[in-house]
Amino acid sequence: MPLSPIFPLDMLKPGEWADVADVSGDAGWVCRMAELGLREGCRIQMIQDGTPCLLRVADCKLCLRSDDTSQILVRPLHSAKVV
């Protein structure tokens, strides 16, 4: 089965799940995102899109500005139920 395409996080719609494919930008910012649980390979859910957006990362919620979301690339999941 081919992998889903990769696109910026800000293209996810509320309720959609995705796996993070890449987090780019300043090394300090990338490190801070990793400390918050947002790193390559993690699974996230878009709770609220827009500026700021609200994400579910593991058992936490994370709020990001739109300029931050464009630096995060995701691979959407097409399953109706994600665990």
Convert the pLDDT of each residue in 3-49 to its tens digit: 779 999 999 999 999 999 999 999 999 999 999 999 999 999 999 99
For residue 23, the domain's CATH number is: 2.30.30.90
The pTM for the full model equals 0.85
Total domain count for the chain? 1
Distance CA 17, CA 82 (A): 7
Range of the domain at 71: 7-76
Burial class (CB in 10 A: 0-12, 13-18, 19+), 68: buried
User: In this structure, what token pair is assigned to residue 39?
Assistant: 């790193």
Q: Which residues contact 47 (CB under 8 A, 6 or more apart)?
A: 14, 15, 53, 54, 55, 56, 61
Q: Please, what is the average pLDDT of the chain?
A: 89
| 55 falls within a domain | yes
Confirm whether 57 is domain-assigned: yes
Residue 82 counted as domain residue: no
For residue 50, tell me if it sits in a domain. Answer: yes
